[in-house]
Amino acid sequence: MLRTLAKSIRQYKRLSLISPICVFFEAAFQTLVPYLMAIIIDRGVMVGNLHVIIRWGILLICLALLGLAAGMGASWYSSKAAAGFAKNLRHDLYFHIQTFSFSDIDKFSTSGLVTRLTTDATNLQQAYQMTIRTALRAPLMLIFSVTMAFLVSPNIAWIFVVVIPILAVGLYAIIRSSRKLLTQVFHLYDRLNQVVGENIRGIRVVKIFVRAKTEIQKFQTVAKNIFTVYSKAQRILALNQPLMQLIIGLSTVSVAWLGAKLVVSRQLQIGQLMSLFSYTISILTSLMMLSNVFSQLILAGTSGRRVTAVLDTTTQLHSPANGITTVNDGSISFEHVNFKFNDKEKQNALTDINLQIKSGSTVAVVGSTGSGKSTLVQLIPRLYDVDSGAVKVSGVNVKDYDLTALRNAAAMVLQNNVLFSGTIKDNLRWGNPNATDEELVQAAKIAQADSFIEQFPDKYNTRIDQTGNNVSGGQRQRISLARSLLKHPKILLLDDATSATDTETEHNIWQAMKANLPETTKVIITQRITSITDADQIIVMENGRVSAIGTHEQLLKDDAEYRSIYQIQIEGGEG
């Protein structure tokens, strides 16, 4: 874990090294101050020697100022190094997530990845700053103070040898008891992010169905669980304060009692006794700081394991060495393909799929909800890997292609597409950053988007709100389709991509694509059979299997299920 996280320090190594150096001098200077105070009291104040007071007093002030400067330097360098580390860590996480396959994202969940990029990264930032600042200062102060206590009075210093192990055992028990609870808190944070994300994304649905109270209750339940578990963990961690106070009290009384006896017997001077009180406070304060460090490191340890779990995940979906970089045509074949989303699922999502799709043909995929239509097309650009069998494009197994080359040759338009904040022109150029204005207009015309874009006051420079909420669902789908057409793909995959358009517009889109994209293979998932009657091939899916293949006329004649769906749609007025 530490080795993985340390890779994110990079250019902040120098700052990370300077901070501990400053901490060392800060601790050393501060530890010498009580010793000098003892000299001033015993050799100056008690005997009235002004020369000793002035000489050692100046040295004491200088050491105090140097300690202050070193402390300020340690704080500045540690905070800057920690902020830089967190910046790099978020970059590394975000960059690594971009390489994930859909199954990798499913494994961690979207909300879990968001928590790692936000809460976990912040915890690690705080822990890193504490590590190169407080986590070094506390043990240094402890070692220096115990050493100075032995130099001043070995008899009294033995008190600390007894006290420190007792306190260490108590702190260890507290930390160990709270660790599991804090791990549970982070799992609840993931759940909270999921609930909030779903609510915000679906806020319109929530309002339409008047489900605000239900959503609030769902949120409150998760928030209450976080409060309950976190409070329990904090109650355990809070025990370190009374434990510290008890040890401080007992140590102070012990030092005072034994010190007074030594002063009376002239084995110890007043100034030395006062310095021992200072060292007592310094030692026990160091231990308290260490307990706080350990508490923070528990949180950081949980966050670190969650973050490294992501960073150490090597996606199985990667480009092969010397992968093929050219896709010659848009022909597609499925050869005895079996697939399920993860090993926990008992039933395949797709079973024994065998298909042959010619380059440039138009193929429709129909079937009931959950029949495997979307899963089928997601295997073509290798968004998932098959469990057995092979998916081939242009006669080559998709696993043998360079991923970038394969996905550049395919474009996919989903039912619920995302538009990004910016102009319509900006969104269209996601398909081809170098596209000319003429190419943008041509793609928009094929997608039947040019007509409504031209009606906007700013036309193609019209700004799109975040997620495209200022355009209708049908308009959003057509802009997304135009964006995909600008890739000039050899394979165009449409997953209910025109479901929000009317039947006439959908028909016009298919006709325009047929006329303008004769060499592009078009795989269309749709619920409207009436719009794909002239497809070269229609695939009927049922329970993850291909139940029938043929033209519209063949399926009407030979397949009862297809015929039934078509008749229902005709009678329902979709024709």
Which band of pLDDT confidence, cut at 50, 70 and 90, is reported for residue 418? confident
Distances (CA, A) of 168 to 156, 160, 172, 174, 287: 20, 12, 6, 10, 8
Q: How many CB atoms lie within 10 A of CB 142?
A: 22
Q: Provide the pLDDT for residue 157.
A: 83
Of 76, 75, 69, 78, the C-alpha closest to 30 is 69
Q: Residue 357 pLDDT > 60, yes or no?
A: yes
Q: Provide the pLDDT for residue 575.
A: 45
How far is Cα 40 from Cα 271, in angstroms, rounded to an integer?
Answer: 8
Mean pLDDT, to the nearest integer, of 379-403? 91
Q: Give the pTM.
A: 0.68
Of 343, 339, 406, the C-alpha closest to 376 is 339
State the fold for domain 2-311.
ABC transporter transmembrane region fold (1.20.1560)
Residues 6+ apart with CB under 8 A from 495: 373, 374, 377, 412, 413, 414, 415, 525
Looking at mean pLDDT, say which of 100-104, 152-156, 229-233, 327-331 comes out highest.
327-331
* 211-220 exposure pattern, b = at least 16 Cβ within 10 A, e = fewer: eeeebeebee
How far is Cα 201 from Cα 108, in angstroms, rounded to an integer?
Answer: 19
Amino acid at 53: I
Q: Provide the pLDDT for residue 209.
A: 66
The domain ranges of the chain are 2-311
Mean pLDDT, to the nearest integer, of 451-460? 90
Which band of pLDDT confidence, cut at 50, 70 and 90, is reported for residue 573? low
- Are 464 and 476 contacting, i.e. CB atoms less than 8 angstroms apart? no
Residue 396 host element (H or E):
strand 396-397
DSSP 413-465: E-SS--PPSEEHHHHHTTT-TT--HHHHHHHHHHTT-HHHHTTSTTGGGPEEP
How far is Cα 116 from Cα 108, in angstroms, rounded to an integer?
Answer: 10
Q: Provide the pLDDT for residue 123.
A: 86
